[in-house]
Amino acid sequence: MKICMVGEGAFANKHLDALANIEDVEVAAIVGGVADATEKVAQERGIGFWTTDLEEGLARDGVEAAILTTPTPIHASQAQQVMRLGKHVLVEIPMADSLADAEAVVAAQKETGVVAMVGHTRRFNPSHQWVNKRLRAGELHIQQMDVQTYFFRRKNLNALGQPRSWTDHLLWHHACHTVDLFQYQAGEVVSEVFALQGPKHPELGIAMDMSIGMKTPSGAICTLSLSFNNDGPLGTFFRYICDNGTYIARYDDLVDGRENPIDVSAVDVSMNGIELCDREFVAAIREGREPNASVAQCLPAMQTLDRIEKCLGE
């Protein structure tokens, strides 16, 4: 299977690492936003063709699919462009930064019938998969998810510390992970939401701190704290408080409430959530089926984010 990688930054490289572990997959082209950086990645990775034109990259012989790791504000338009050119698409989270654009992406998938998936990696992390299997088996029931998403990002820099051409967002990007995961794990769309945010950054124009509360119809609650002001351990930390145990997930690792490690190495074929996400995308194309984390399945998260945004008065 020939894939076109769209983007040349930190997450493009994470997906390139992941795809290298999947049999019979070739990255035949890379499309970037900055010519020099794109050429460099192509040379380092042995990718035979690079360009800054998306349509040109998708037109390479045999290319069936694209993975979009581009700036959030262009996810929706690029995803629709890829689908309407007859290619399957995996778009990094979030699929859009507004509900209207997310709905347009879902409509384009229905219109074209291609495989369209969102990189909701938390669904695939072995730690969260371990919890999910027990939830589905009825061994656990969520009483509360307590989640912290913390970064130190007072300047407009990316994950590699390089200047960004766009501004990241606590709600439409980082909260999206937890909103989707909570609804996915609970098996319900939230019925109640509230949100608070701190002052907006004078230059970036975004809130740097945010608090979100959610409740499902059955009574499970989620408390989510997000900050770009945290000068300390970075990342997202999930505490599952259940009727039959407490579990803490840190990306692909899992411990119980007393920090005793839980072996999740046998949960799936890899311990890398991004690789497992990419494997699902490739498998869904090969098997002609809807993937886990399809754009349609992820739309309820976008609807909830829209409700949260209205709570914030934006």
Q: Provide the pLDDT for residue 282.
A: 98
8 Å CB contact between 139 and 217: no
Angstrom distance (rounded) from CA 159 to CA 9? 9
In the chain, the domains with their CATH numbers are 2-120+274-294 (3.40.50.720), 122-268+300-312 (3.30.360.10)
The pTM for the full model equals 0.95
Residues in the chain with pLDDT values less than 70: 158-160, 166, 314
pLDDT digits (tens, 9 = 90+) for 121-142: 999 999 999 999 999 999 999 9
DSSP class of residue 150 equals E
Count CB neighbours of 196 within 10 A.
Answer: 12
- Alpha-carbon Rg of the chain, whole angstroms? 19
Angstrom distance (rounded) from CA 241 to CA 255? 12
Tokens 């504000």 identify what position?
Answer: 73
Which residue intervals of the chain are DSSP H helices?
A: 10-19, 35-45, 54-58, 75-84, 99-112, 126-136, 176-186, 273-287, 295-312
Q: Provide the pLDDT for residue 159.
A: 63
Q: Provide the pLDDT for residue 203.
A: 85
pLDDT digits (tens, 9 = 90+) for 187-219: 999 999 999 999 998 888 889 999 999 999 999
Q: Provide the pLDDT for residue 314.
A: 58
Task: Output phi, psi for 31, to 5 deg.
Answer: -115, 120
Mean of per-residue pLDDT scores for the chain: 95
Tell whether omega for the bond before 291 is within 30 degrees of 0, i.e. cis: no
